[in-house]
Amino acid sequence: MGQTGKIKLDHFEDGRIARITLDAPPMNLTTVAILDDLLETVIQVSEDERVRVVVITAAGDRVFCGGSDLKEFPAIRDRFVEVKLRKENAIFSRLENMDKPVIAAINAMALGGGCEMSLACDFIVMDERAKIGQPEINIGTFPGSGATFRLVRRVGMGRAMEMLCLGIAVEPEKALEIGLINRIAPAGKVWDSAYELARELASKPRFALKCIKELCRNAYTQTPAEAIEQSLALSEIILKTPDSIEGTKAFLEKRPPVFQDTVQLK
């Protein structure tokens, strides 16, 4: 994909599952050029109606994503926000607001922008040997692409402040305990675990997943009254969809539902 060749896009299950791979090992750093390609790819999968679930992972076994390439800093420091951070935030916001589930499959260390990229995803699956954290404080700065609010939402103020202010990286068991990640994968099996989760999600009705994601994301900014009204408005629509009608019928007939254009689990 793109000009750098450092972003790979693959499709599985007849195009229903898209895998985006950062392919710049060993550190998988996000240079400005790589971010251009990543944005292009994220837009492509978000607009692809075939795609039901997106998985983001990385090549190599050392670092999932080490964040920014510090070697670029001297050249772009005076325009870092415009050249780098706005682009990075646009990508992560695209991931967060995509109307389909997004899974981060963390195969190794996820630091800085790598952690922030994962926080923008709906689900995080992590290799049992990996770590995740925001070390920016240790180079005299702070995470500028979402960790200061997405990490708080995931783990609470106290845990987030500890990770951000001390620059520590946590191991999978701790990350699972505090609600930072969803699943721990056996060593070397993070793609298998993420793919299993992706297939489960792709077997669910598309519009229901879209509604759940939208309502859950909006829960951080809406008043209870606004949340109720949006939920009612979407309920008015979803109850008339073929998948909702099929789901109710299947339940009454005591059989598995057959939703439209989903992955069929065996």
171: number of Cβ within 10 Å: 16
Does residue 59 sit in helix, strand or coil?
Answer: coil
Q: Long-range contacts for 255-263 (Cβ within 8 Å, ≥24 apart)?
A: 259/203, 259/204, 259/205, 259/206, 260/205, 260/206, 261/16, 261/52, 261/206, 262/16, 262/52, 262/202, 262/203, 262/204, 262/205, 262/206, 263/13, 263/16, 263/17, 263/52, 263/199, 263/202, 263/203
Considering only CA atoms, give the Rg of the chain: 19
Q: Which of 49, 136, 177, 196 is catalytic?
A: 136
Q: Is 196 a catalytic residue?
A: no
**Using an 8 Å Cβ cutoff, are 127 and 172 in contact?**
yes
| CA distance linking residue 242 with residue 258, whole number of Å | 10
Q: Is 116 a catalytic residue?
A: yes
Nearest to 76 by CA among 86, 91, 63, 66: 86
Q: Which of 40, 82, 88, 116 is catalytic?
A: 116
Query: What is the distance of C-alpha 254 from the center of its chain?
Result: 35
**Using an 8 Å Cβ cutoff, are 168 and 132 in contact?**
no
**Catalytic residue numbers, as ranges:** 116, 136
